[in-house]
Chains A and B, each alone.
Chain A
């Protein structure tokens, strides 16, 4: 991964030196696609032939390329979903684990080594999960009498295949059987079975996404690795038996079969987890209930309202992506949402009869995610909205322009300061953010709409997205949202954000072919998020690996 790091000192000039503040577009050098590591090695496959009527992106001309991918540990969400699917246990132990490490703002667990406290967490969780499984769910998890001939052997094989997402070889099966046999002699069948389950839950094959390596060069990933990547991307959980069977039959290295499986997984209810997880991270929804707001200005603020806000956005995203038109435009411009009674009051619309329901909003006040209370609340301080945070989100998460941190020694002032843009130490970066943030001034720090000051003066909502001609100047967030929804840079950025979420790493030069195809496909589909997910799941970056 390469990132252009501009020295902040270079950027001390009063003119609009855009090149001084941000770390390139799309977060990497953006220079020539670079050499294809496939030049030196061999690809196991001839490579994916593009559709005959599609131009081959230049970066794809040399055949599939792949980036090195550090080995990742299960995220907290993946752990919880996996034990749910493996054991029928929905106790969600990972909610008490140490938090996930993030790369590019998406949970990755790919860099730091395991910490001692984390091992202890896994050990404790495995003991509890296994004990519960044998005492409460024996039929569901084991499904036979341990005294029966072949029961334990069969369990080791079938449960093991599901726990490790691949078949166990003979020596492994023998080892687990030996564990059972020795333990059963001392402590009985129930305890022994519990120990087998514990050991599997603590095995690296369970805790890490193990992807076998091979001869140096670019190679198609093996079927079980593909199955795992598919299910963990689309379900944030383990493959089901049908997917494992397809892997076992060697079907998944056929791109069409892989796509078929991807579409099957996307139609499954379990895909809701991925849609929710992506939006939660993309929109920085974590910690909403813990936000502190000025209680005299916002007496209606409470942790429960924060929870409702998070739920609104996740339900809305789910409604659009999995039940609606799946369109990015709808996500960014819809004048409806999915809300409950407290939110209805905040938005000034009639409350639903009960719970959460799809509700129309005034289109002159609301347009998609950028006017959701969740976004507006998380980009505001206790008593004041934040031009910087709102502008920064648009730059980083909708335009993929990473803003560098303030240079050392510069005073940080966490208030909306109109003089900042006149200060050469600050302007070169803040010109990218503050003028966007001002356009949101009709929305309070908890997202209520108010376009008049207390003494009846109109609130100024003028803003500008400098450097993006398709948007330029705008008035108010609704106009901004509609303009951004039509902007190609936003489409490309959202495609890249989904890619980053799925790959759990930053994009590199080796991904340029994949990214070009993703951008083209996303454009051709009219920015269909579902098709984007399928395209990522079947992309070269997902199918091929770089063996070093």
Chain B
């Protein structure tokens, strides 16, 4: 039974605030949530940015040994300084899936990233694959009985290089890319008068009921793979009907996301990212879901060009080339471009953490960030490989995670990180993805 609303939420209280940036968040109060026993995070947020975090010299914070308290952050993460105590920088993991993967080139790791499995090619060419199993965000969402909110900023086309979230093998979850439209579909109907809303819902249910009838009568008449597709389609329709019948009130006043912007465009990218963060945090704070992901670009980012003077970046070169130039042709210019780009991505991660921290939670001055687990991730490690990967865990995870540290776990599998994420969310999993690649949860 899912708990993800479009039309059913009605708001107590009056008009929505018009502010688009952080100040509106003070009107949102997160549901007070504490686990009855044991410590675990109440919500999971995944934040993806493309390619690798430059290299170890750039991402390793100052300090000696394999584990130490963070006294400072690397230069490209300077925007995260106000949240230094909320971060656990986790270095040197290995994507063991890359060692056994037979398909594709460097970018295939995006299909492994949240699934812990090698991919399933279906066509020809590097990008024609899908992941072979469920991703950790969808797994957690399913265990919680919620619909994950899957968002993207210029994620790219429907192929394996451009998707991180899956409900199963060959079941990519396509991210929603236009925050204004997604806002309307999450919150919009609730602004209708009650009787109009009831009528609209009733008509939609009638239509979907008829559609369900057609799906049910067609499915047995078709062979296996077609029937599987229709069964899955039928489940989605049923979920939609369930949501239309659900009738819980919400205790928040969301702020609409402005329309009139081409959110899919390259030019609007920085704005799109921030508006997606705003949308996501509202959805979490309003209890619409407990699991959300935001995907910035895709595994190569060849279709992203940082022509964003308002964000301090004005490079007429795509992000993929910027990354390769750094790896293959190192000079002062290519280094500077690479650092500027990665700093931009980290600054937007800071925007997310700021937003999560600004939502109050509980009576003791707590923040929604404290009961959230945030997974920052990229699809690549050292020089486009799966080696020396950096991950960042942020937020208190309900007290289950000790932050403000750097931890290096050389040789540990990234599958084990996915196991840790599950356990930090209160799930009992001891493996995730391909069990052969797991040793168990990480010592965090």
Which residues from chain A sit less than 8 Å from chain B, CB to CB? 3, 5, 7, 23, 27, 70-71, 98-105, 108, 111-120, 123-124, 126, 171-172, 175-176, 179, 182-183, 186-187, 191, 195, 198-199, 202-205, 208, 210, 212-213, 287, 290, 292, 294-295, 381-382, 402, 405-406, 408-409, 411-415, 506, 547-548
Contacts and interface: CB of A to CB of B under 8 A. Distances in A.
A412 B170 contact: no
B34 interface: no
Contacts of A405: 104-105, 126
A99 B327 CA distance: 31
28 contacts: A102-B128, A102-B159, A103-B124, A108-B123, A113-B171, A113-B229, A114-B236, A115-B173, A117-B174, A119-B240, A120-B240, A123-B204, A175-B210, A175-B213, A195-B203, A195-B207, A210-B218, A210-B226, A213-B222, A290-B266, A290-B303, A292-B307, A402-B125, A406-B106, A411-B328, A411-B383, A412-B105, A414-B324
CB-based closest 9 A-B pairs: A405-B105, A71-B226, A103-B123, A199-B210, A98-B174, A113-B232, A99-B157, A101-B158, A115-B174
Contacts of B170: 111-113
Contacts of A195: 203, 206-207
A102 B161 CA distance: 12
A182 B122 contact: no
Given A103-B122, A119-B240, A204-B215, A412 B384 contact: yes
B316 interface: yes
A115 B172 contact: yes
A167 to B, nearest CB: 15
B303 A105 contact: no
Given A99-B156, A103-B124, A126-B207, 10 more contacts: A5-B103, A70-B225, A105-B124, A120-B6, A198-B207, A199-B214, A382-B318, A405-B104, A408-B98, A412-B105
Contact of B173 (A116, A175, A187): A116
B71 interface: no
Interface of B: 6, 98, 101-106, 122-126, 128, 130, 147, 150, 156-159, 170-176, 185, 199, 202-204, 206-208, 210-211, 213-215, 217-218, 221-226, 228-230, 232-233, 236-237, 239-240, 266, 303, 305, 307, 316-318, 320-321, 324, 327-329, 383-385
B236 A412 contact: no
A117 B175 CA distance: 7
Given A116-B236, A199-B207, A5 B102 contact: yes
A451 B157 CA distance: 37
B122 A111 contact: yes
B157 A413 contact: no
B158 A102 contact: yes
Chain B CB within 10 Å, residue with most, of A23, A104, A115: A115
Contacts of A176: 210
A48 B178 CA distance: 51
Contacts of B303: 287, 290
B221 A112 contact: no
Contact of A412 (B103, B172, B324): B324
Nearest to B202: A186
Contacts of A175: 210, 213
B158 A98 contact: yes
Nearest to B265: A290
B232 A114 contact: yes
Contact of A114 (B218, B229, B329): B229
Contacts of A186: 202
Contacts of B224: 548
B228 to A, nearest CB: 7
A111 B150 CA distance: 20
Contacts of A506: 123-124
B316 A382 contact: yes
A411 B326 CA distance: 12
Given A112-B130, A204-B230, A295-B316, A118 B174 contact: yes
A183 B206 contact: yes
B226 A212 contact: no
Contacts of A292: 305, 307, 316-318
A417 to B, nearest CB: 9
B307 to A, nearest CB: 8
Contacts of A411: 327-328, 383-384
Nearest to B320: A414
A179 B223 contact: no
Contacts of B305: 292
Contact of A204 (B128, B218, B324): B218
B239 A116 contact: yes
Contacts of A123: 204, 240
